[in-house]
With several copies, the nearest count.
Chain A
């Protein structure tokens, strides 16, 4: 099954990259854009099986490897049922 982990800088953690993108968007004329935060999206495929177990595995992967939990928050979702 397909799954997705979204990883973003935690609230209160500075995001210089987000700031730079925000400024660039302003320069391009998108004046109203605010609060830009840049994170990562990790798409992956898991063996078919139980959703709850899959989510537990994703959480485990995120805690151990995918996210740096000192500065990043993450969220996991199962995207579909079929292969």
Chain B
């Protein structure tokens, strides 16, 4: 049976069943404006209706977790009454349309998510994916995205301290731009996005409202569709200057006790901010769109409600404190307009002047979108991917050449071209900036630091989404450990294709399962995240790309590590064991043009032990440098340590494994460390005690990297040559 009004439903992207549910929740047929609100709030982007059931698998609690998923950002305790606030979010689709503004507004949005919790943002990270840089379009996307992030973050005065970039043809039509922001806060200062207290004013602060960013929304009313169509493509433009003022004004406002609740305006603008704060507080909000300061004429109520104009926040203040709030925003030259009040009826009531133009239960909009449970089917082609006959990979002689070539592939090459464009030291807390496994920031007023990283080894996820996603968690944790930090919590961004396709949903479910398992085993809770679906153009979806942002605590800043070989005559030691697995490696991709093979085994127990040994060694002051084995395998790790430290090494690897797997296999759970000769025994003892395999590889020094196996030199090259290949690659590609 077709419901009355069902064709309007399709226009806002909802199903008949969803429409029926709306009628049930509202108690009548919704009006056009009301339906528009449901259209945006019940979209996948806002409601997580497809992903939510699975996300429940994540472990989200732990002694240190102060705020798990569900708020604007997660919060985790770091001691001394302080906490870290963090979140990662995608801005993939806007960036594909306009890379500069898409990336810039991605930064802007995630920064607001952090300071809306009351925290001062202290660091930014970014995870990027593009297609082949041989294509002009991909270079221009890459250039635009990096400039967009840099210009926004730099202007905000927040250091961009770490990130990652990967390349794969599947991203050609769908670049990925995931931005992460990290803030620090006192426990007592935490703010939440809940509207409480009947009669309290609802104040819209920051930028004026225009018709920006309504490209995602369709409207129920035909007239309105015509009026908005022209603006549909309107790209949101970021104004980092305004956001900087908004940040300082909000932090100043928080120092008063005038604020009851606060929430940034992100996707679905005023609609989501108002219904979500009302729903969290168990209250209603009654607001008047006529009171919203605008920058364009002739906007109708639905446009005001749905506009995604940037740099705005919704403040719920204590009644009677309106002037105080106004005063602070005046000081910073920003708008602050009381647009409504908190009510006790649980309704989101929208007026246009004297006329009520819409009234629906806030909870219905914010929380009651019916969940979807799509079918998950393992793709028929999955087995073809796993099929890799390593015996047909040529066993040639020139391993030095192969290593040099690998060092120059964009995915492995130095990303200095990127991070030179980011101010990584503003605010003078950056102890280790970009260029090592993880960034380390000091925590003001303590001896402690926090370490940060973001990782998403997508190459493995295509072949085995569950293991690949688990590897993302393991690799992020390993990167933190290499800098001397104990992993504490993570935030994730799950980038996938269209979940209505059973193959994509299978990838997604597998990834969530794999990630959850890794989080449990490594005892790292998920405190927030973001899902980005529909990353596909035409028939082809991106390779599944779960990205993990992680924070760890450095107990004593006297004991931190960088990846470079820092002192000559140090002993180079491998923690963990090499395997003969080559599946999914960059080496196989270069050699065969395919991402193929079975992904290496990930033994989470082993992973944990290797990490514990490394952290113990650093904390006891034994370890001088540490760098984990990831993209490119052991030889790339060794080369990077040489390059970063501008120092050679003379090494001999244990025999018994085919040379290409030994040099380039990407088996996890391995870390290359250096220790002073006098400290070697202590490290060996610790390894024996913890049951971790360990191999002494040789010593640092000189200007050559030499790698022997069974007395035969496999790799021998001046470090400056390796450095030239590694550092020169991206600048050269991008200079075209």
Give B10-31 interface residues, CB cut-off 8 Å to A: none
Evaluate contact between A16 and B242: CB separation under 8 angstroms: yes
Evaluate contact between A12 and B211: CB separation under 8 angstroms: yes
Complex: chain A residue closest to B242, CB-CB: A16
Residues from chain A with Cβ under 8 Å of B233 in the complex: 70
Mark interface residues in A12-25 (1 if CB within 8 Å of B CB, else 0).
11111001100100
Residues from chain B with Cβ under 8 Å of A19 in the complex: 239
Evaluate contact between B241 and A16: CB separation under 8 angstroms: yes
Q: Does B212 interact with chain A (Cβ within 8 Å)?
A: yes
Q: Does B470 interact with chain A (Cβ within 8 Å)?
A: no
> Interface residues of A, CB < 8 Å — how many?
12
Given contacts A27-B736, A68-B98, A70-B97, contact A14 B231 (CB under 8 A): no
Q: Does B101 interact with chain A (Cβ within 8 Å)?
A: yes
A-B contact pairs, 7 of them (CB 8 A): A12-B211, A12-B230, A12-B231, A12-B296, A14-B237, A14-B309, A16-B242
Given contacts A70-B97, A71-B101, contact A15 B237 (CB under 8 A): yes
Cα A14 to Cα B235 in complex, Å, equals 9
Name the one of B97, B210, B230, B333 contacting A14, with C-beta atoms under 8 angstroms: B210
Residues from chain A with Cβ under 8 Å of B427 in the complex: none
Given contacts A27-B736, A70-B235, A71-B237, contact A14 B98 (CB under 8 A): no
Residues from chain A with Cβ under 8 Å of B242 in the complex: 16
Complex: chain A residue closest to B98, CB-CB: A70
Known A16-B237, A71-B101; further 17 A-B contacts with Cβ < 8 A: A12-B231, A12-B234, A13-B234, A13-B237, A14-B210, A14-B237, A14-B239, A15-B237, A16-B241, A16-B242, A19-B239, A23-B333, A68-B98, A70-B97, A70-B98, A71-B235, A71-B237
Residues from chain B with Cβ under 8 Å of A20 in the complex: 241
Give A31-83 interface residues, CB cut-off 8 Å to B: 68, 70-71
Q: Does B378 interact with chain A (Cβ within 8 Å)?
A: no
Cα A13 to Cα B231 in complex, Å, equals 9
Complex: chain A residue closest to B295, CB-CB: A14
Residues from chain B with Cβ under 8 Å of A70 in the complex: 97-98, 233, 235
Residues from chain B with Cβ under 8 Å of A15 in the complex: 237
Cα A14 to Cα B237 in complex, Å, equals 6
Cα A48 to Cα B72 in complex, Å, equals 49
Mark interface residues in B516-531 (1 if CB within 8 Å of A CB, else 0).
0000000000000000
From residue A21, how far is it (CB to closest CB) to chain B in Å?
12
Complex: chain B residue closest to A64, CB-CB: B136
Complex: chain A residue closest to B309, CB-CB: A14
Mark interface residues in B99-126 (1 if CB within 8 Å of A CB, else 0).
0110000000000000000000000000
Mark interface residues in B215-258 (1 if CB within 8 Å of A CB, else 0).
00000000000000011011111110110000000000000000
Cα A70 to Cα B230 in complex, Å, equals 13
From residue A24, how far is it (CB to closest CB) to chain B in Å?
10
Evaluate contact between B239 and A71: CB separation under 8 angstroms: no
Evaluate contact between B736 and A14: CB separation under 8 angstroms: no
Residues from chain A with Cβ under 8 Å of B736 in the complex: 27
Given contacts A12-B231, A14-B295, contact A71 B241 (CB under 8 A): no
From residue B311, how far is it (CB to closest CB) to chain A in Å?
9
Cα A15 to Cα B239 in complex, Å, equals 9
Cα A74 to Cα B97 in complex, Å, equals 19
Residues from chain A with Cβ under 8 Å of B101 in the complex: 71
Cα A71 to Cα B237 in complex, Å, equals 9
Residues from chain A with Cβ under 8 Å of B211 in the complex: 12
Cα A16 to Cα B238 in complex, Å, equals 8
Highest count of chain B CB atoms <10 Å: which of A20, A23, A68 = A68
Complex: chain B residue closest to A27, CB-CB: B736
Given contacts A70-B97, A71-B101, contact A14 B241 (CB under 8 A): no
Give B293-350 interface residues, CB cut-off 8 Å to A: 295-296, 309, 333
Residues from chain B with Cβ under 8 Å of A68 in the complex: 98, 100
Cα A23 to Cα B233 in complex, Å, equals 28
Evaluate contact between A16 and B235: CB separation under 8 angstroms: no
From residue B393, how far is it (CB to closest CB) to chain A in Å?
38
From residue B231, how far is it (CB to closest CB) to chain A in Å?
6
List of 9 A-B pairs having minimum Cβ-Cβ separation, nearest first? A16-B239, A14-B237, A70-B98, A12-B234, A71-B235, A12-B231, A71-B98, A13-B237, A70-B235
Complex: chain B residue closest to A16, CB-CB: B239
Residues from chain B with Cβ under 8 Å of A12 in the complex: 211, 230-231, 234, 296
Complex: chain A residue closest to B239, CB-CB: A16
Cα A20 to Cα B155 in complex, Å, equals 15
Cα A13 to Cα B234 in complex, Å, equals 6
Cα A42 to Cα B82 in complex, Å, equals 48
Complex: chain B residue closest to A9, CB-CB: B237
Cα A70 to Cα B97 in complex, Å, equals 8
Cα A12 to Cα B296 in complex, Å, equals 9
Evaluate contact between B241 and A13: CB separation under 8 angstroms: no
Residues from chain A with Cβ under 8 Å of B296 in the complex: 12
Cα A14 to Cα B240 in complex, Å, equals 13
From residue A31, how far is it (CB to closest CB) to chain B in Å?
17
Residues from chain A with Cβ under 8 Å of B239 in the complex: 14, 16, 19
Residues from chain A with Cβ under 8 Å of B237 in the complex: 13-16, 71
Highest count of chain B CB atoms <10 Å: which of A13, A19, A27, A68 = A13
From residue A63, how far is it (CB to closest CB) to chain B in Å?
13
Give B168-219 interface residues, CB cut-off 8 Å to A: 210-212
Residues from chain A with Cβ under 8 Å of B230 in the complex: 12
Complex: chain B residue closest to A14, CB-CB: B237
Cα A19 to Cα B333 in complex, Å, equals 13
From residue A35, how far is it (CB to closest CB) to chain B in Å?
12
Cα A23 to Cα B736 in complex, Å, equals 10
From residue A15, how far is it (CB to closest CB) to chain B in Å?
7
Residues from chain B with Cβ under 8 Å of A71 in the complex: 98, 101, 235, 237
Residues from chain B with Cβ under 8 Å of A16 in the complex: 237-239, 241-242
Give B68-116 interface residues, CB cut-off 8 Å to A: 97-98, 100-101
From residue A45, how far is it (CB to closest CB) to chain B in Å?
15
Mark interface residues in B38-52 (1 if CB within 8 Å of A CB, else 0).
000000000000000
Cα A23 to Cα B335 in complex, Å, equals 14
Residues from chain A with Cβ under 8 Å of B231 in the complex: 12
Residues from chain B with Cβ under 8 Å of A27 in the complex: 736
Cα A13 to Cα B212 in complex, Å, equals 8
From residue A79, how far is it (CB to closest CB) to chain B in Å?
22
Residues from chain A with Cβ under 8 Å of B212 in the complex: 14
Cα A69 to Cα B234 in complex, Å, equals 12
